[in-house]
Amino acid sequence: MKNLLDNIATPEDLRKLNQEQLPQLAKELRNFIIDIVSTKEGHLGASLGVIELTIALHYLFDTPNDLLVWDVGHQAYGHKILTGRKAVFHTNRQFKGIAGFPARKESEFDTFGVGHSSTSISAALGMAIASNLKGETEKHHIAIIGDASIASGMAFEALNHAGVSKANLLIILNDNAIGIDPSVGALKEYLTKVKTDKKLAAQNNIIKALNFDYSGPIDGHNLDKVLSELKRLKSVKGPKFLHVITTKGKGLQKAEEDQVTYHAPGKFDKISGVRIKSSENKYTKYQDVFGQTIVELAKQNDKIVAITPAMLTGSSLKLMLKEYPNRTFDVGIAEQHAVTLAGGMATQGLIPYCNIYSTFLQRAYDQVIHDVALQNLPVVFCLDRAGLVGEDGATHHGVFDLAFLRCIPNLIIFAPRNETELRNILYTAQLGLQNPIAIRYPRGYGKTIDWKKPFQKIEIGKGVSLKEGKSIAVLSVGTIADNVEEAILLSENKKEFAHFDMRFIKPLDKELLKEIFRKYKNIITIEDGVKQGGFGSSILEFAAQKHYKNKIKVLGIPDTFIEHGNVLELQNQIGLDVKSLLDIFSKT
């Protein structure tokens, strides 16, 4: 039997097939994704679960004239392969390769850039309203959203609007009961009941109550059924909702059995699905330092509670959930709710550790200001994945946090240099702080073996001297200090360089800064956040206020969105790797 996928480069090629050939194509497309991801790594389970749906959509609809919006984008690998990127799919998420998520600049088939969840309905509704205004009433607009994403506040806001619009909008709920971790909440329980209780789906239906033409739930792996229902919905005007049941990881037994791990499994054997273990790492991930430390602290302090918006595994809060299930709260993909929930807990004397990826805290900015900082509530924000995160790219880099948090009154901001510093600031935060604090730390492994030392209290607003020097002071915050130390060590003029870990971006250690400005003519600031408004900007402001005339050079993330690639490649690209710093130091 010839391979059908070999002759398909675009949806136009796909539409030349007979409907009876599509199940074979689905099998080939699954195998193609498994073959590439098994060696190149990436997200796996989500895309395997929507293969039939992806084929059906491109087979029946006139893409790219009809507009598809994929929520988050983990599930869009099949879409990318069928829309002109099969030959380059092996470069997925690699430096200078194609992006892991849909991106408008990459293809006309990627109608909306996605990376954060729950945006698809709003975007597709906006497109549909625009089509109505332009008189393009026959154009179709389709949002594919997961059940974990549809529980988000933004998705509900869009549903509320779409239900009273006359937009030609089709929302497809890809219901697999899991995001990265299993879905949670009352809506998830409702969707579970709908799958088994046809009367509930027909009568007391939440979606129907919002004025949608609801159909389903149907088996998302039955191509004939999916095609039949989509054909019917093409002729229905106004807002429509199709409920599709799928299995995340479909077609690879290991991925179906362990859906959390196989969301992004790393390298694995493409036949058996067994993961290929990388060489043992003697260091500990920052996420696990956080996870182990908060459990240790919770044993000593019964006021400690932990909150995460759908990132139990990624943040290592599963350790806390196992030990203290009644004090650990996964609120689903709901960052705004997570922050204000923490604020409410803090008013009652609890000590909430609110763990949110740096890039996702952006979604709760008003809540940080209005519900926490304005009321000076001592919430502990633990900002995971700060700085450059690698292959997930521009949607996921945590590079804006220092800049957007620094302008907020009452908020303490701390960036630990190593695992021990993270451990000690987590300890310090529950001793009775009178202010909220944001602690930002990177993704991945640290560089300290014996980090689990007895707790030591950190004095708020105090930096430390790591190395004395003669004429040049390098000021860093966070783990970028490792690159600074190595560059100084390799420098021919290492005696000229002093190195200070300022630790606190806010409040600044002004007494230490006065000594630095008095002793060193040349000052270099380094951060793995954006230069505009970040740590370096705070040093420039300090110098201006004090009328210092020292020469100050600010290094950090340039004023552009950084694409995907591993962290070392990206640091090299923007001049923050050891070699680049060494070149800069030699010219200072």
pLDDT of 151 strictly over 90: no
pLDDT at 180: 65
Q: Which of 400, 314, 411, 315 is nearest to 354 (CA)?
A: 315
pLDDT of 202 strictly over 70: no
For the question of residue 12 being annotated catalytic, the response is: no
Q: Among 33-37, 433-437, 464-468, whose mean pLDDT is lowest?
A: 33-37
pLDDT at 203: 66
- Rounded to whole angstroms, the Cα distance separating 189 from 83 reads 36
β-bridge mates for residue 498, sequence order: 473
pLDDT at 176: 85
Percent of the chain exceeding pLDDT 90 equals: 79
pLDDT bracket for residue 1 (50, 70, 90): low
- Rounded to whole angstroms, the Cα distance separating 312 from 308 reads 6
- Rounded to whole angstroms, the Cα distance separating 338 from 382 reads 12
pLDDT bracket for residue 184 (50, 70, 90): confident
The SS3 assignment for 476 reads strand
Mean pLDDT throughout 133-158? Answer: 91
Sign of CA dihedral 219, 81, 359, 292: positive
Mean pLDDT throughout 111-132? Answer: 94
Q: What is the mean pLDDT of the chain?
A: 93
Determine which one of 363, 503, 506, 531 is catalytic. 363
pLDDT at 172: 95
pLDDT at 194: 74
- Rounded to whole angstroms, the Cα distance separating 6 from 342 reads 52
pLDDT of 488 strictly over 80: yes
Determine which one of 30, 80, 93, 248 is catalytic. 248
C-beta atoms surrounding 433 within 10 Å:
15
Question: Is residue 71 within 8 Å of residue 64, measured between CB atoms?
Answer: no
β-bridge mates for residue 295, sequence order: none
- Rounded to whole angstroms, the Cα distance separating 418 from 478 reads 8
pLDDT of 477 strictly over 90: yes
Q: Which helix (H) or strand (E) holds 141?
A: strand 141-146
Sign of CA dihedral 156, 158, 161, 164: negative
Question: Is residue 162 within 8 Å of residue 214, measured between CB atoms?
Answer: no
Q: Which of 305, 301, 332 is nearest to 321 (CA)?
A: 305
pLDDT at 181: 66
pLDDT at 557: 97
The SS3 assignment for 132 reads helix
Q: Which amino acid is at 20?
A: E
pLDDT at 200: 65
C-beta atoms surrounding 575 within 10 Å:
14
Mean pLDDT throughout 217-223? Answer: 93
Q: Among 272-276, 517-521, 528-532, 573-577, whose mean pLDDT is lowest?
A: 272-276
pLDDT at 419: 97
pLDDT of 271 strictly over 90: no
Environment class of residue 470 by beta-carbon count within 10 Å: exposed (0-12), middle (13-18) or buried (19+)? exposed
Mean pLDDT throughout 62-77? Answer: 92
Q: Which of 400, 430, 343 is nearest to 559 (CA)?
A: 400
pLDDT of 248 strictly over 80: yes
Mean pLDDT throughout 325-341? Answer: 95
| Residue 443, CA distances (Å) to 287, 501, 527 in order | 7, 20, 15
Tens of pLDDT, residue by residue over 106-117, are: 999 999 999 889
Decide which of 177 and 489 is more confident.
489
The SS3 assignment for 330 reads strand
- Rounded to whole angstroms, the Cα distance separating 204 from 432 reads 48
Question: Is residue 423 within 8 Å of residue 455, measured between CB atoms?
Answer: yes
- Rounded to whole angstroms, the Cα distance separating 329 from 203 reads 32
DSSP 269-283: -TTT--B-PPPPPSS
pLDDT bracket for residue 211 (50, 70, 90): confident
Question: Is residue 358 within 8 Å of residue 329, measured between CB atoms?
Answer: no
For the question of residue 335 being annotated catalytic, the response is: yes
Task: Give me 485's structure tokens.
Answer: 């130390």
pLDDT at 252: 86
Task: Give me 318's structure tokens.
Answer: 């599963």
Scan for tokens 């959509």, then name that residue: 57
pLDDT of 201 strictly over 80: no
